[in-house]
Structure 1
Amino acid sequence: MHTEDDLIGTPLTPDLLRGALEVERTERGLLPHRLPAWARAQCGDGQLAMAESQPSGVRLVFRTRATTIELDTLPTKRVYVGAPPGPDGVYDLLVDGRPGGRAEVSGGNVLTIDMATSAAESEPGPVGTARFTGLPDRLKDVEVWLPHDETTELVALRTDAPVEPLADPGGPVWLHHGSSISQGSNARNPTGIWPAVAARLGGVQLVNLGLGGSALLDPFTARTMREAPADLISLKIGINLVNADLMRLRAFGPAVHGFLDTVREGHPTAPLLVVSPVHCPIHEETPGPCLPDLGAMGAGQVRFLAAGDPAEQSSGKLTLSVIRQELSRLVEQRAAEDPNLYYLDGRELYGPADFAQLPLPDQLHPDAETHRRMGERFAALAFGEGGLLRRGVLHGDSP
C-alpha cells in the first residue's frame, strides 16, 4: 500500500477540470463555480450562491497509469434544523468511461440551515481525502466526478504515476439549465443524476447549469449560457417559478422570450430544446409558494407542500399545467423562424404513471431510480436515433 510520501503531487489547475464555467483560486486550492463571478455579483441570494458552488457535473479529467489516486478536498456539508443528517457527498471514479470506484470525504465545513426561517450558520471544518486504489496498471483516461450536492474546494491531487490533462473533450458539448432536479437532488451519486446518465448514454460532454431553487429565468443565467461554449443546449423551465411564486403569467411569456433571445445571440443555430416540468402533483393545479412541511420535519422527514390556492390561477398565478401550455405555445410560435428550436413535455421523462410507481419521496424531487429512468428517457428522446438534439451536430454538421 502506498503512503502519501510515495505519491506524486500534481498541481491542481483549471485544465484538469470539465463542467465548471469558472475556477476560483483560493488560499487552499481551487473552487469550481458553475456561474462566473460577474453573474454571481448580480444576485445576492444565498440559495443561488450555494447551488452554483456545488459542482454538479464537474469532474477532474486526466490520463495516467496510476493505480492509486488521492484527492484532498474541503467539502461543505448541509444540515437542516429538525432533519436527520444526510449522507456524505460521493466522488465517482470512471476509468475509460466505466465505473472504477467510489469514495466519500468526511469532515469539512458544516452549513446549518433553518428551513422555517431561511437562516444559515457556517462552521469551519478540516480537509479530507477521497482515495481510489487498485486501478488497472495501464495508460487510461480517468474522471473523478465531484459531489453534485456539496460545495467542494480542491486542495491536492496525488498519484503513483504522472498525470497529464486531456485536451480532447470527447464529444459535443451539451449545455443544460434546470432546477434542483437537474442538479441532482435526491440522487445518490454524481454520475447518477439524470443529466449525467443522459450524457453518458448520448456520448456528449455535460455542462450542467442545474441550479437548485434557481431556475428562475434570470438574465445573468441567460447571458452566461450565451457566452459558454456549447454544441447542444436544453432549458428545463417551470418548477422553480411555481414553487418560488416568483412571477405571474403576464411576465412569464416575455421572460421566456427574452431568455431564449439572449441564448440565441451566442448560439444562433445550435439545437435548442425547451423542456417543460416533469409531473409533480402538489403543483400541477396549485400555485406556489412551496413550503417545507414542518409537521413532517418534526418527525425527522423532509417534505414539501404547495401553499397556494388553485383559484388563484385566474389572477395569473402559475401552475405546472399553465406553464406547460404556455411553453408549448411559445416554442411553436418561435419555431416558425427558428428551425433548430424544439419542445419536450417533461411528463415524457416522468409522468403520472411514473409517480404511481416511483412517487417523489419529498413530494418535489425524484429518487435515485427515477433519476436513472429520466436520464435514459432523455437520452433516447434527445440523443437517440431521430432525437431532438441529435439533428444536425451529432450527424457531423456544424452547430
Structure 2
Amino acid sequence: MFHAASAQKYVDASTLTIIGRTCPMEGHPYYRVDTTRYRFDNATIRHYCGYPAGVAVLFTTDSRRIEARWTTAPRSYGWNMTPVLQRGMDLYVRENGVWTMAGAARPGLQDRHASTIVEHMDGQPKECMLYLPAWSELLTLEIGVDEGASVTPLESPYKHRVIVFGSSVTHGASASRPGMTYPARMSRMTGIEFVNLGYSGNCMLQPEFARLLAETDADAFLFDAFSNPSPKMIRERLDAFVATLVKAHPDKPLIFMQTHWHTAGNLDQEAAKFHRERINTADGMMRRLAKQYDNVYFLDGEWFFGRDAEGTIDCDHGSDLGYDRMISERLPRIRKILRKYGIR
C-alpha cells in the first residue's frame, strides 16, 4: 500500500540541522563525503559517498502530524535488506532525554516517495531526528507539517564525535531500518555521535581511505576494517594504514574491532578456511600494533553475532538480533577506552 503525504506545508530539509556527515559536499547536502575533494577511482565507492547512511535531519516542530516527500536516485532493491532501510526513513522524538521511534517513512516502488510518518500528536513542540536512507542517494527531501505549525533547526545533542569506518556491517546491512544500524543505536544510547562511514564490500584498508580519515576531525576513530579485505590485503596494507592514522591523530584513540565469524563457514569448508585465516591474520597483526602504538586498541573476538547462527540475515550480515548482541558485547569495551580520553 502506498502511504501518500498530504501535509499543508513543506520545508526543505537541507535548511535544517544535518548530522552524520564526514566531509559535507556543497550542492549535495546529504552526501557523507565530498567526492570533488576525494576522487575515488572505484565507482561503487563514489556512489556510496552519496548514500546518507547514518545521516539524520534534526528539527523541532509543534505540528500534530509529520510527513515527508523525497526523491532517490534510481537503483534496484537489494534482496537481503528491507525497503525502509534502503530508501525509507525513520523518525525519532526525544522526550525526557530519551529518543523514541515515532514512525517510518515508507518508500514507494519508484524514485519519488511520499509518506505520513506520524499523526494525531498533541501539538506540543517535539524534538525530532529523522534518519535518512542507508542504501540510496537522496536527491530531495521535504518535511511536511500542518499549516501554521513551526519547523526550526534543532541543535545537535552530541558533544563528541567518533568516526566509524567499516564494511557493510557498519553501512547497515541488514538492520531493519536506518535508525537501527549499530552506529545510530550507539549514538542514542551514549550521547556520543558515532558517524557512519561504512562502505559495503569496499572497506579494504586502501590508501585513499587512510587519507580521508587522516584529514577528518573527530575525537576518536572506530574501525570495522577486517570484514572485506583478504588475508593477503591485510598483511600488505594494515601497517601503512595504521601508521598514516597514528601520524595524523597521535593523541586520538584508534579502536580496531575484529571481524565476525561468517556462519557460512559452519558447513562450507572453503569459507571456513578463508575466514579463519583472515581472523587470525588480523588478530596477530593488531596485537602487535596495539603494543607498538600507545593509542591503538584492538577488540578481539569474532562471535559477537552469537554462536547459534541466528544473528544474521544471510550467514554474513547482522539482523537486529545480531546487532543487539554486537552492541552488548562491543559497546562496554568501546566506552571504557573512550572514557580514558574524556569522551563520555
Aligned CA distance change for structure 1 residues 85 and 143 (closer, same or farther; 3 Å): closer
* TM-score, length of structure 2 as denominator length: 0.83
| Equivalent of residue 176 in structure 1, options 164, 182, 185 | 164
- Measured in 2, the distance between the counterparts of 1:253 and 1:84 equals 31
Q: What is the match of residue 66 of structure 2?
A: 69
Asked whether the equivalents of residues 173 and 206 of structure 1 are also in contact (C-alpha less than 8 Å), the reply is: yes
Name the SS of the counterpart of 1:339 in structure 2: coil
Asked whether the equivalents of residues 39 and 221 of structure 1 are also in contact (C-alpha less than 8 Å), the reply is: no
Q: What is the match of residue 264 of structure 1?
A: 246
| Equivalent of residue 279 in structure 2, options 324, 331, 338 | 324
- Measured in 2, the distance between the counterparts of 1:219 and 1:19 equals 23
Asked whether the equivalents of residues 79 and 85 of structure 1 are also in contact (C-alpha less than 8 Å), the reply is: no
| Equivalent of residue 340 in structure 1, options 271, 295, 310 | 295
Q: What is the match of residue 392 of structure 1?
A: 341
Q: What is the match of residue 20 of structure 1?
A: 21
Q: What is the match of residue 79 of structure 1?
A: 76
Write the letter of the residue equivalent to 1:64.
Answer: T
* TM-score, length of structure 1 as denominator length: 0.73
1:124-158 superposed Cα distances (whole Å, 9 cap, x missing partner): xx343454323443233210011223332233233
1:63-100 superposed Cα distances (whole Å, 9 cap, x missing partner): 2323322322112464379x699634431111112222
| Equivalent of residue 369 in structure 1, options 321, 326, 330 | 321
Aligned-CA RMSD value: 3.1
1:155-197 superposed Cα distances (whole Å, 9 cap, x missing partner): 3233332222233442311210111111111211112122222
Instruction: Give the fraction of aligned pairs with identical amino acids, expressed as a percent.
Output: 21
| Equivalent of residue 360 in structure 1, options 312, 327, 330 | 312
Asked whether the equivalents of residues 16 and 152 of structure 2 are also in contact (C-alpha less than 8 Å), the reply is: no
- Measured in 1, the distance between the counterparts of 2:248 and 2:155 equals 23
Write the letter of the residue equivalent to 2:176.
Answer: R
1:30-49 superposed Cα distances (whole Å, 9 cap, x missing partner): 55222321465222333x23
- Measured in 2, the distance between the counterparts of 1:177 and 1:391 equals 21
Write the letter of the residue equivalent to 1:43.
Answer: D
Q: Does 1:56 align with 2:58?
A: no
Q: Does 1:140 align with 2:126?
A: yes
| Equivalent of residue 102 in structure 1, options 82, 95, 104 | 104
- Measured in 1, the distance between the counterparts of 2:77 and 2:90 equals 25
Write the letter of the residue equivalent to 1:21.
Answer: T
1:269-304 superposed Cα distances (whole Å, 9 cap, x missing partner): 12221111111143589898xxxxxxxxxxxxxxxx
| Equivalence map 1:272-351=2 (5 Å) | 272-282=254-264, 306=271, 310=273, 319-351=274-306
Q: What is the match of residue 299 of structure 1?
A: none
Write the letter of the residue equivalent to 1:208.
Answer: N
Which structure has the larger Rg over C-alpha atoms?
1
- Measured in 2, the distance between the counterparts of 1:218 and 1:57 equals 22
Name the SS of the counterpart of 1:239 in structure 2: coil
Alpha-carbon offset, residue 328 of structure 1? 3.1
- Measured in 1, the distance between the counterparts of 2:12 and 2:248 equals 33
- Measured in 1, the distance between the counterparts of 2:303 and 2:82 equals 30
- Measured in 2, the distance between the counterparts of 1:214 and 1:84 equals 18
- Measured in 1, the distance between the counterparts of 2:81 and 2:304 equals 30
Number of aligned positions between the proteins:
332
Aligned CA distance change for structure 1 residues 179 and 201 (closer, same or farther; 3 Å): same
Asked whether the equivalents of residues 54 and 134 of structure 2 are also in contact (C-alpha less than 8 Å), the reply is: yes
| Equivalent of residue 205 in structure 1, options 167, 181, 193 | 193
Write the letter of the residue equivalent to 1:128.
Answer: A
Aligned CA distance change for structure 1 residues 168 and 331 (closer, same or farther; 3 Å): same
Which structure 1 segments of 5+ residues have no match? 110-125, 243-247, 289-305, 311-318
Aligned CA distance change for structure 1 residues 277 and 225 (closer, same or farther; 3 Å): same
Q: What is the match of residue 313 of structure 1?
A: none
